[in-house]
Amino acid sequence: MKNIKTLIIVSLLISQIANAIELGSLDTSFSNDGTTDGYDITGAGNFHSYASATVVDSQGRIYVAGTFDTEVNGVPRKRARVERRLPNGDFDTSFGVNGTTVLGLPPAASGQFEYSLVLDASDVVFLGYSILRCDANNDCQSDVRIDRISESGGAFGGQTVSFDFGSSFERQDDDFADMIYIPSINKIAIAAEVERTGANDIDFGIALLNVDSVTGNLSLDTAFSTDGISSCFFDQQNSSGSEDITKAITWDPLQNNIVVGGSVFEGNGVGGDGYNFGFCEFDLSGNIVNKWSTQSPDLVADSREFLVDIAFVNQSGFSTIVATGQVPGDGGFDFALTRFDRDIFGNWNQDTTFGSNGTGWETTNFQFIFVGDTEDSPAEMIIESDGNILVAGTAKWGGDTTIPQGAIAMAKYTANGILNTNWGIGKSGKAVNPLEINAPYFLTVLGIASDPKTEEIYAVGFLYDGLYFDNFIANMHNDSIFSNNFDF
Protein backbone atom coordinates (compact mmCIF):
# COMPACT_ATOMS: atom_id res chain seq x y z
CA MET A 1 0.00 0.00 0.00
CA LYS A 2 2.87 2.37 0.87
CA ASN A 3 4.42 1.83 -2.59
CA ILE A 4 1.08 2.47 -4.27
CA LYS A 5 0.67 5.76 -2.36
CA THR A 6 4.21 6.77 -3.32
CA LEU A 7 3.49 6.08 -7.00
CA ILE A 8 0.27 8.10 -6.81
CA ILE A 9 2.10 11.05 -5.21
CA VAL A 10 4.89 10.89 -7.82
CA SER A 11 2.30 10.76 -10.63
CA LEU A 12 0.49 13.77 -9.19
CA LEU A 13 3.74 15.71 -8.87
CA ILE A 14 4.69 14.91 -12.47
CA SER A 15 1.24 16.00 -13.59
CA GLN A 16 1.52 19.28 -11.66
CA ILE A 17 5.00 19.98 -13.05
CA ALA A 18 3.79 19.22 -16.57
CA ASN A 19 0.92 21.64 -16.14
CA ALA A 20 3.18 24.31 -14.62
CA ILE A 21 5.83 24.18 -17.34
CA GLU A 22 4.93 25.56 -20.73
CA LEU A 23 7.19 23.59 -23.04
CA GLY A 24 8.91 26.01 -25.36
CA SER A 25 8.81 28.84 -22.81
CA LEU A 26 11.91 30.50 -21.37
CA ASP A 27 13.71 28.57 -18.64
CA THR A 28 14.20 31.37 -16.11
CA SER A 29 16.85 29.41 -14.20
CA PHE A 30 19.22 30.30 -17.05
CA SER A 31 20.99 33.65 -16.58
CA ASN A 32 18.89 34.16 -13.47
CA ASP A 33 19.80 37.74 -12.60
CA GLY A 34 16.35 39.24 -12.08
CA THR A 35 16.54 41.17 -15.35
CA THR A 36 17.14 38.80 -18.24
CA ASP A 37 15.94 35.54 -16.70
CA GLY A 38 16.00 32.83 -19.34
CA TYR A 39 18.32 34.67 -21.72
CA ASP A 40 21.45 36.78 -21.82
CA ILE A 41 22.40 39.70 -24.07
CA THR A 42 26.04 40.64 -24.55
CA GLY A 43 27.68 43.21 -26.79
CA ALA A 44 31.06 44.41 -27.94
CA GLY A 45 31.12 47.86 -26.41
CA ASN A 46 30.62 50.53 -29.06
CA PHE A 47 30.55 47.95 -31.83
CA HIS A 48 28.18 45.38 -33.34
CA SER A 49 28.20 41.76 -32.18
CA TYR A 50 26.32 38.75 -33.58
CA ALA A 51 25.78 35.11 -32.54
CA SER A 52 25.25 32.69 -35.41
CA ALA A 53 25.76 29.10 -34.24
CA THR A 54 25.56 27.04 -31.08
CA VAL A 55 26.15 23.47 -29.91
CA VAL A 56 25.91 21.75 -26.52
CA ASP A 57 28.39 19.07 -25.43
CA SER A 58 27.79 16.03 -23.21
CA GLN A 59 28.68 18.07 -20.10
CA GLY A 60 25.96 20.61 -20.85
CA ARG A 61 28.46 23.32 -21.80
CA ILE A 62 27.14 25.64 -24.47
CA TYR A 63 29.38 26.86 -27.29
CA VAL A 64 28.40 29.96 -29.28
CA ALA A 65 30.15 31.35 -32.36
CA GLY A 66 29.76 34.55 -34.35
CA THR A 67 31.21 37.80 -35.66
CA PHE A 68 31.94 41.01 -33.79
CA ASP A 69 33.20 44.37 -35.01
CA THR A 70 36.18 46.21 -33.58
CA GLU A 71 38.92 48.66 -34.56
CA VAL A 72 42.65 48.11 -35.08
CA ASN A 73 44.65 51.35 -35.15
CA GLY A 74 41.46 53.22 -35.96
CA VAL A 75 40.56 50.92 -38.87
CA PRO A 76 37.26 48.96 -38.62
CA ARG A 77 37.77 45.20 -38.50
CA LYS A 78 35.61 42.12 -38.16
CA ARG A 79 36.68 39.27 -35.88
CA ALA A 80 35.38 35.75 -35.28
CA ARG A 81 34.86 34.43 -31.77
CA VAL A 82 33.78 31.31 -29.88
CA GLU A 83 32.46 31.47 -26.34
CA ARG A 84 31.66 28.70 -23.89
CA ARG A 85 29.00 28.93 -21.20
CA LEU A 86 28.05 26.74 -18.29
CA PRO A 87 24.52 25.26 -18.08
CA ASN A 88 23.38 28.16 -15.86
CA GLY A 89 24.41 30.72 -18.49
CA ASP A 90 27.64 31.91 -16.86
CA PHE A 91 30.75 32.18 -19.01
CA ASP A 92 33.17 29.27 -18.51
CA THR A 93 36.31 31.12 -17.45
CA SER A 94 38.50 28.06 -18.09
CA PHE A 95 37.92 28.60 -21.81
CA GLY A 96 39.87 31.28 -23.69
CA VAL A 97 39.89 34.62 -21.91
CA ASN A 98 36.98 34.83 -19.48
CA GLY A 99 35.02 32.30 -21.54
CA THR A 100 35.72 33.66 -25.03
CA THR A 101 38.39 32.94 -27.62
CA VAL A 102 39.03 35.14 -30.68
CA LEU A 103 40.12 33.49 -33.93
CA GLY A 104 43.23 34.73 -35.70
CA LEU A 105 41.71 34.83 -39.18
CA PRO A 106 39.06 37.56 -39.76
CA PRO A 107 35.63 36.60 -41.11
CA ALA A 108 34.49 37.69 -44.56
CA ALA A 109 31.72 40.30 -44.48
CA SER A 110 29.79 38.42 -47.18
CA GLY A 111 29.47 35.39 -44.89
CA GLN A 112 29.55 37.00 -41.47
CA PHE A 113 26.29 35.39 -40.33
CA GLU A 114 27.13 31.85 -41.50
CA TYR A 115 28.90 29.79 -38.84
CA SER A 116 28.63 26.18 -37.75
CA LEU A 117 29.79 24.31 -34.65
CA VAL A 118 29.92 20.50 -34.60
CA LEU A 119 31.18 17.93 -32.09
CA ASP A 120 32.91 14.62 -32.59
CA ALA A 121 32.21 11.61 -30.37
CA SER A 122 34.72 12.88 -27.77
CA ASP A 123 33.21 16.38 -27.50
CA VAL A 124 35.96 17.92 -29.65
CA VAL A 125 34.60 21.11 -31.23
CA PHE A 126 35.03 22.11 -34.88
CA LEU A 127 34.20 25.60 -36.14
CA GLY A 128 33.31 26.47 -39.73
CA TYR A 129 33.03 29.99 -41.17
CA SER A 130 34.08 32.27 -44.06
CA ILE A 131 37.43 34.04 -43.85
CA LEU A 132 38.74 37.07 -45.72
CA ARG A 133 41.81 36.50 -47.91
CA CYS A 134 43.56 39.47 -49.54
CA ASP A 135 46.39 39.63 -52.09
CA ALA A 136 49.32 42.07 -52.23
CA ASN A 137 47.13 44.69 -53.91
CA ASN A 138 44.59 44.40 -51.07
CA ASP A 139 42.05 42.77 -53.38
CA CYS A 140 40.07 40.45 -51.15
CA GLN A 141 37.88 37.39 -51.51
CA SER A 142 36.25 34.93 -49.15
CA ASP A 143 37.32 31.34 -48.51
CA VAL A 144 36.01 28.59 -46.26
CA ARG A 145 37.84 27.88 -43.00
CA ILE A 146 37.47 24.97 -40.56
CA ASP A 147 39.28 25.03 -37.19
CA ARG A 148 39.50 22.56 -34.35
CA ILE A 149 38.91 24.27 -30.99
CA SER A 150 40.83 22.89 -28.02
CA GLU A 151 39.43 22.34 -24.54
CA SER A 152 41.13 25.55 -23.38
CA GLY A 153 39.92 27.58 -26.37
CA GLY A 154 42.85 27.47 -28.79
CA ALA A 155 42.38 26.94 -32.54
CA PHE A 156 44.68 24.44 -34.25
CA GLY A 157 44.97 21.89 -37.07
CA GLY A 158 42.73 23.99 -39.32
CA GLN A 159 42.12 23.82 -43.05
CA THR A 160 41.29 26.58 -45.53
CA VAL A 161 39.23 25.50 -48.53
CA SER A 162 39.44 27.58 -51.73
CA PHE A 163 37.08 26.41 -54.46
CA ASP A 164 37.97 29.27 -56.86
CA PHE A 165 35.77 28.00 -59.70
CA GLY A 166 35.43 31.47 -61.25
CA SER A 167 37.81 32.49 -64.03
CA SER A 168 38.79 35.79 -62.35
CA PHE A 169 39.74 36.84 -58.83
CA GLU A 170 36.56 38.93 -58.61
CA ARG A 171 34.42 35.81 -59.17
CA GLN A 172 36.09 33.48 -56.68
CA ASP A 173 34.22 34.22 -53.46
CA ASP A 174 33.48 30.99 -51.60
CA ASP A 175 31.17 31.46 -48.61
CA PHE A 176 30.70 28.87 -45.88
CA ALA A 177 27.15 27.52 -45.47
CA ASP A 178 27.06 24.45 -43.22
CA MET A 179 28.99 21.37 -42.12
CA ILE A 180 28.55 17.99 -40.45
CA TYR A 181 30.90 15.62 -38.66
CA ILE A 182 30.54 12.00 -39.87
CA PRO A 183 31.66 9.73 -37.02
CA SER A 184 31.62 6.43 -38.93
CA ILE A 185 34.35 7.63 -41.32
CA ASN A 186 35.90 10.38 -39.13
CA LYS A 187 35.45 13.11 -41.75
CA ILE A 188 33.87 16.55 -41.98
CA ALA A 189 31.63 17.41 -44.92
CA ILE A 190 31.24 21.10 -45.81
CA ALA A 191 28.63 22.92 -47.86
CA ALA A 192 29.55 26.27 -49.42
CA GLU A 193 28.15 28.85 -51.80
CA VAL A 194 30.69 29.17 -54.63
CA GLU A 195 30.92 31.73 -57.41
CA ARG A 196 31.31 30.94 -61.09
CA THR A 197 32.42 33.29 -63.87
CA GLY A 198 28.96 34.69 -64.72
CA ALA A 199 27.74 37.75 -62.84
CA ASN A 200 24.82 35.94 -61.15
CA ASP A 201 26.28 32.44 -61.28
CA ILE A 202 26.58 30.79 -57.85
CA ASP A 203 26.51 27.05 -57.24
CA PHE A 204 26.37 24.48 -54.48
CA GLY A 205 29.91 23.67 -53.32
CA ILE A 206 30.96 20.65 -51.28
CA ALA A 207 34.25 19.66 -49.66
CA LEU A 208 35.26 16.58 -47.67
CA LEU A 209 37.96 16.76 -44.99
CA ASN A 210 39.89 14.03 -43.23
CA VAL A 211 40.30 14.30 -39.45
CA ASP A 212 43.62 12.80 -38.36
CA SER A 213 42.82 10.24 -35.67
CA VAL A 214 46.02 11.06 -33.72
CA THR A 215 46.65 14.79 -34.11
CA GLY A 216 43.13 15.92 -35.01
CA ASN A 217 44.55 17.97 -37.90
CA LEU A 218 42.33 18.52 -40.93
CA SER A 219 43.16 17.90 -44.59
CA LEU A 220 41.25 17.68 -47.86
CA ASP A 221 40.19 14.15 -48.78
CA THR A 222 41.77 13.70 -52.22
CA ALA A 223 39.77 10.50 -52.78
CA PHE A 224 36.75 12.79 -53.07
CA SER A 225 36.74 14.16 -56.64
CA THR A 226 40.61 13.95 -56.68
CA ASP A 227 41.06 17.29 -54.86
CA GLY A 228 38.51 17.09 -52.03
CA ILE A 229 36.02 19.56 -53.57
CA SER A 230 33.12 19.44 -56.03
CA SER A 231 30.02 21.42 -57.05
CA CYS A 232 26.50 21.09 -58.37
CA PHE A 233 24.15 23.50 -60.15
CA PHE A 234 20.60 23.83 -61.49
CA ASP A 235 19.70 25.45 -64.82
CA GLN A 236 17.68 28.64 -64.77
CA GLN A 237 14.74 28.95 -67.11
CA ASN A 238 15.17 31.47 -69.94
CA SER A 239 18.45 32.76 -68.52
CA SER A 240 22.16 32.00 -68.58
CA GLY A 241 23.95 30.71 -65.50
CA SER A 242 22.29 29.61 -62.29
CA GLU A 243 21.69 31.13 -58.87
CA ASP A 244 21.85 28.24 -56.43
CA ILE A 245 22.02 29.38 -52.80
CA THR A 246 23.65 26.75 -50.60
CA LYS A 247 22.23 26.39 -47.08
CA ALA A 248 22.60 22.92 -45.55
CA ILE A 249 24.23 19.49 -45.65
CA THR A 250 23.38 16.04 -44.25
CA TRP A 251 24.70 12.47 -44.34
CA ASP A 252 22.83 9.31 -45.36
CA PRO A 253 24.55 6.49 -43.41
CA LEU A 254 22.46 3.83 -45.15
CA GLN A 255 23.96 4.73 -48.54
CA ASN A 256 27.19 6.43 -47.38
CA ASN A 257 26.23 9.50 -49.40
CA ILE A 258 26.19 13.23 -48.66
CA VAL A 259 23.28 15.52 -49.58
CA VAL A 260 23.60 19.30 -50.01
CA GLY A 261 20.47 21.46 -49.99
CA GLY A 262 19.58 25.04 -50.78
CA SER A 263 17.36 27.40 -52.74
CA VAL A 264 17.62 27.26 -56.53
CA PHE A 265 16.27 29.87 -58.94
CA GLU A 266 14.36 28.11 -61.71
CA GLY A 267 12.05 30.92 -62.82
CA ASN A 268 8.79 29.06 -62.36
CA GLY A 269 5.63 30.42 -60.76
CA VAL A 270 3.22 33.08 -61.94
CA GLY A 271 5.81 35.86 -61.70
CA GLY A 272 8.60 33.89 -63.33
CA ASP A 273 10.71 34.46 -60.19
CA GLY A 274 10.32 31.09 -58.53
CA TYR A 275 12.90 29.63 -56.18
CA ASN A 276 12.62 26.00 -55.15
CA PHE A 277 14.12 23.65 -52.61
CA GLY A 278 17.04 22.00 -54.42
CA PHE A 279 19.21 19.01 -53.50
CA CYS A 280 22.39 17.36 -54.81
CA GLU A 281 23.56 13.97 -53.58
CA PHE A 282 27.24 12.94 -53.76
CA ASP A 283 28.95 9.62 -53.12
CA LEU A 284 32.28 9.43 -51.31
CA SER A 285 34.14 9.57 -54.63
CA GLY A 286 32.64 13.00 -55.30
CA ASN A 287 30.23 11.85 -58.02
CA ILE A 288 26.75 13.38 -58.26
CA VAL A 289 24.33 10.47 -57.92
CA ASN A 290 21.07 12.45 -57.58
CA LYS A 291 19.82 15.98 -58.22
CA TRP A 292 16.25 17.17 -57.69
CA SER A 293 14.11 20.17 -56.76
CA THR A 294 10.54 21.07 -55.79
CA GLN A 295 9.86 22.88 -59.06
CA SER A 296 6.87 20.64 -59.73
CA PRO A 297 4.43 20.63 -58.11
CA ASP A 298 4.57 24.21 -56.81
CA LEU A 299 3.55 24.69 -53.19
CA VAL A 300 2.22 28.20 -53.84
CA ALA A 301 1.32 30.05 -57.03
CA ASP A 302 4.43 32.23 -57.10
CA SER A 303 6.68 29.32 -56.06
CA ARG A 304 9.10 31.28 -53.84
CA GLU A 305 10.33 28.44 -51.67
CA PHE A 306 13.52 29.16 -49.68
CA LEU A 307 15.25 26.25 -47.96
CA VAL A 308 17.19 26.76 -44.71
CA ASP A 309 17.97 23.29 -43.31
CA ILE A 310 17.86 19.55 -44.04
CA ALA A 311 18.28 16.43 -41.91
CA PHE A 312 18.49 12.70 -42.57
CA VAL A 313 16.03 10.39 -40.80
CA ASN A 314 16.26 6.60 -40.71
CA GLN A 315 12.64 5.58 -41.20
CA SER A 316 12.52 1.88 -40.27
CA GLY A 317 15.59 1.11 -42.34
CA PHE A 318 14.69 3.44 -45.22
CA SER A 319 16.40 6.74 -46.08
CA THR A 320 14.35 9.92 -45.69
CA ILE A 321 15.30 13.60 -45.70
CA VAL A 322 13.31 16.26 -43.86
CA ALA A 323 13.66 19.80 -45.21
CA THR A 324 12.50 23.11 -43.75
CA GLY A 325 12.36 26.63 -45.12
CA GLN A 326 10.01 29.54 -45.71
CA VAL A 327 7.23 30.06 -48.24
CA PRO A 328 4.80 32.94 -48.88
CA GLY A 329 2.00 33.02 -46.34
CA ASP A 330 0.17 35.06 -43.74
CA GLY A 331 2.17 38.13 -42.73
CA GLY A 332 4.62 37.63 -45.59
CA PHE A 333 6.25 34.22 -45.10
CA ASP A 334 5.56 31.09 -43.04
CA PHE A 335 7.56 28.07 -41.87
CA ALA A 336 7.41 25.17 -44.33
CA LEU A 337 8.29 21.53 -43.78
CA THR A 338 8.44 18.59 -46.18
CA ARG A 339 9.97 15.11 -46.50
CA PHE A 340 11.56 13.07 -49.26
CA ASP A 341 11.79 9.27 -49.32
CA ARG A 342 14.32 7.21 -51.26
CA ASP A 343 12.62 4.53 -53.41
CA ILE A 344 13.96 1.11 -54.34
CA PHE A 345 15.57 2.58 -57.47
CA GLY A 346 17.57 5.10 -55.43
CA ASN A 347 15.47 8.14 -56.43
CA TRP A 348 14.10 10.71 -53.98
CA ASN A 349 10.35 11.41 -54.01
CA GLN A 350 8.33 13.92 -52.02
CA ASP A 351 6.21 12.02 -49.48
CA THR A 352 2.61 13.18 -49.99
CA THR A 353 1.53 11.45 -46.75
CA PHE A 354 3.71 13.86 -44.78
CA GLY A 355 1.90 16.74 -43.09
CA SER A 356 -1.75 17.32 -42.35
CA ASN A 357 -3.23 18.09 -45.77
CA GLY A 358 -2.10 15.35 -48.17
CA THR A 359 0.26 17.52 -50.22
CA GLY A 360 3.55 16.52 -48.62
CA TRP A 361 3.96 20.04 -47.21
CA GLU A 362 3.20 21.41 -43.76
CA THR A 363 3.16 25.18 -43.29
CA THR A 364 2.98 27.04 -39.97
CA ASN A 365 2.28 30.68 -39.25
CA PHE A 366 2.75 32.61 -36.01
CA GLN A 367 0.97 35.54 -34.41
CA PHE A 368 1.95 38.09 -31.80
CA ILE A 369 -0.32 39.92 -29.37
CA PHE A 370 -1.73 43.20 -30.75
CA VAL A 371 0.08 42.48 -34.04
CA GLY A 372 -1.62 39.50 -35.65
CA ASP A 373 0.13 37.52 -38.36
CA THR A 374 3.90 37.82 -38.39
CA GLU A 375 6.55 37.23 -41.06
CA ASP A 376 8.11 33.93 -40.08
CA SER A 377 11.65 32.84 -40.99
CA PRO A 378 12.99 29.47 -39.81
CA ALA A 379 16.70 29.24 -39.02
CA GLU A 380 17.49 25.67 -38.09
CA MET A 381 15.95 22.28 -37.35
CA ILE A 382 16.57 19.49 -34.84
CA ILE A 383 15.44 15.88 -35.24
CA GLU A 384 14.87 14.66 -31.70
CA SER A 385 15.57 11.15 -30.43
CA ASP A 386 11.87 10.29 -30.42
CA GLY A 387 11.45 11.41 -34.05
CA ASN A 388 9.84 14.75 -33.28
CA ILE A 389 10.96 17.64 -35.48
CA LEU A 390 11.77 20.99 -33.86
CA VAL A 391 12.09 24.07 -36.08
CA ALA A 392 13.18 27.42 -34.64
CA GLY A 393 13.49 30.85 -36.18
CA THR A 394 12.09 34.36 -36.01
CA ALA A 395 8.62 35.92 -36.04
CA LYS A 396 8.90 39.55 -37.23
CA TRP A 397 6.54 42.47 -37.67
CA GLY A 398 6.71 46.17 -38.46
CA GLY A 399 9.18 47.67 -40.88
CA ASP A 400 6.89 49.66 -43.14
CA THR A 401 6.59 52.74 -40.95
CA THR A 402 8.25 51.48 -37.75
CA ILE A 403 11.50 49.72 -36.85
CA PRO A 404 11.02 45.93 -37.27
CA GLN A 405 10.57 43.93 -34.09
CA GLY A 406 10.93 40.21 -33.54
CA ALA A 407 10.61 37.23 -31.24
CA ILE A 408 11.93 33.67 -31.07
CA ALA A 409 9.48 31.40 -32.88
CA MET A 410 9.47 27.61 -32.54
CA ALA A 411 7.26 24.82 -33.79
CA LYS A 412 7.40 21.14 -32.94
CA TYR A 413 6.05 18.48 -35.28
CA THR A 414 5.51 14.76 -34.99
CA ALA A 415 7.60 12.46 -37.17
CA ASN A 416 4.74 12.63 -39.69
CA GLY A 417 4.92 16.41 -40.00
CA ILE A 418 1.88 17.38 -37.91
CA LEU A 419 2.07 19.98 -35.13
CA ASN A 420 2.67 18.26 -31.79
CA THR A 421 -0.12 19.55 -29.59
CA ASN A 422 1.43 18.04 -26.47
CA TRP A 423 4.06 20.77 -26.73
CA GLY A 424 4.15 24.55 -26.93
CA ILE A 425 2.41 27.49 -25.34
CA GLY A 426 -1.12 26.37 -24.55
CA LYS A 427 -0.26 23.00 -26.16
CA SER A 428 -0.48 24.60 -29.57
CA GLY A 429 2.65 22.97 -30.98
CA LYS A 430 4.13 26.48 -31.21
CA ALA A 431 5.97 28.89 -28.91
CA VAL A 432 6.80 32.60 -29.31
CA ASN A 433 9.26 34.27 -26.91
CA PRO A 434 9.89 38.04 -27.36
CA LEU A 435 12.66 38.08 -24.65
CA GLU A 436 11.57 41.49 -23.39
CA ILE A 437 8.16 43.05 -22.65
CA ASN A 438 8.67 45.39 -25.56
CA ALA A 439 9.94 42.98 -28.20
CA PRO A 440 13.49 43.91 -29.27
CA TYR A 441 14.18 45.61 -32.58
CA PHE A 442 15.58 43.49 -35.41
CA LEU A 443 15.68 40.35 -33.24
CA THR A 444 16.86 37.51 -35.50
CA VAL A 445 17.46 33.86 -34.60
CA LEU A 446 20.38 32.29 -36.49
CA GLY A 447 21.07 29.03 -34.65
CA ILE A 448 19.61 26.49 -32.24
CA ALA A 449 20.85 23.45 -30.32
CA SER A 450 19.57 21.07 -27.69
CA ASP A 451 21.29 19.59 -24.67
CA PRO A 452 21.88 15.87 -25.41
CA LYS A 453 20.87 14.91 -21.87
CA THR A 454 18.29 17.40 -20.62
CA GLU A 455 16.81 18.23 -24.07
CA GLU A 456 16.77 21.93 -23.15
CA ILE A 457 16.72 24.20 -26.22
CA TYR A 458 19.17 27.05 -26.82
CA ALA A 459 18.66 29.74 -29.46
CA VAL A 460 21.21 32.36 -30.51
CA GLY A 461 21.14 35.40 -32.75
CA PHE A 462 21.22 39.17 -32.53
CA LEU A 463 19.03 42.17 -31.70
CA TYR A 464 19.29 45.96 -31.76
CA ASP A 465 19.70 47.98 -28.57
CA GLY A 466 19.01 51.34 -30.19
CA LEU A 467 22.65 52.02 -31.05
CA TYR A 468 24.34 48.69 -31.77
CA PHE A 469 23.53 45.10 -32.61
CA ASP A 470 24.14 42.75 -29.67
CA ASN A 471 24.18 38.97 -29.58
CA PHE A 472 21.84 36.92 -27.40
CA ILE A 473 21.42 33.38 -26.13
CA ALA A 474 18.09 32.10 -24.80
CA ASN A 475 17.18 28.85 -23.03
CA MET A 476 13.77 27.19 -23.43
CA HIS A 477 12.10 24.22 -21.71
CA ASN A 478 11.88 21.08 -23.83
CA ASP A 479 11.72 17.85 -21.85
CA SER A 480 10.04 15.22 -24.01
CA ILE A 481 8.85 13.44 -20.85
CA PHE A 482 6.03 15.99 -20.95
CA SER A 483 5.60 16.24 -24.72
CA ASN A 484 5.47 12.55 -25.61
CA ASN A 485 5.35 9.18 -23.94
CA PHE A 486 7.11 8.76 -20.62
CA ASP A 487 10.75 7.89 -21.23
CA PHE A 488 11.67 6.14 -17.98
pLDDT, tens digit only, all 488 positions of the chain = 445 444 444 443 444 444 568 999 999 999 988 888 899 999 888 899 999 999 999 999 999 999 999 988 888 899 999 999 999 999 999 999 999 999 999 999 888 999 999 999 999 999 999 998 887 777 888 999 999 999 999 999 999 999 998 888 778 899 999 999 999 999 999 999 999 877 778 999 999 999 999 999 999 999 999 999 999 998 765 455 578 999 999 999 999 999 999 999 988 887 788 899 999 999 999 999 999 999 876 666 678 899 999 999 999 999 999 999 999 998 899 999 999 999 999 999 999 999 998 889 999 999 987 788 999 999 999 999 999 999 999 999 987 778 889 999 999 999 999 999 999 999 999 999 999 877 788 999 999 999 999 999 999 999 998 899 999 999 999 975 555 533 32
Number of domains in the chain: 1
Does residue 131 lie in a domain region? yes
Full domain range(s) for residue 441: 2-483
In this structure, how many other beta carbons lie within 10 angstroms of the beta carbon of residue 389?
24
Residue 12, phi then psi, degrees to nearest 5: -65, -40
Tell me, what CATH number does 9's domain have?
2.120.10.10
Q: CB neighbours of 277 closer than 8 A, spacing ≥ 6?
A: 261, 262, 263, 264, 293, 294, 305, 307, 323, 325, 338
Does residue 384 lie in a domain region? yes
Does residue 488 lie in a domain region? no
Does residue 174 lie in a domain region? yes
Does residue 392 lie in a domain region? yes
Decide if 371 contacts 397 (C-beta within 8 A).
yes
Q: What is the pTM of this model?
A: 0.92
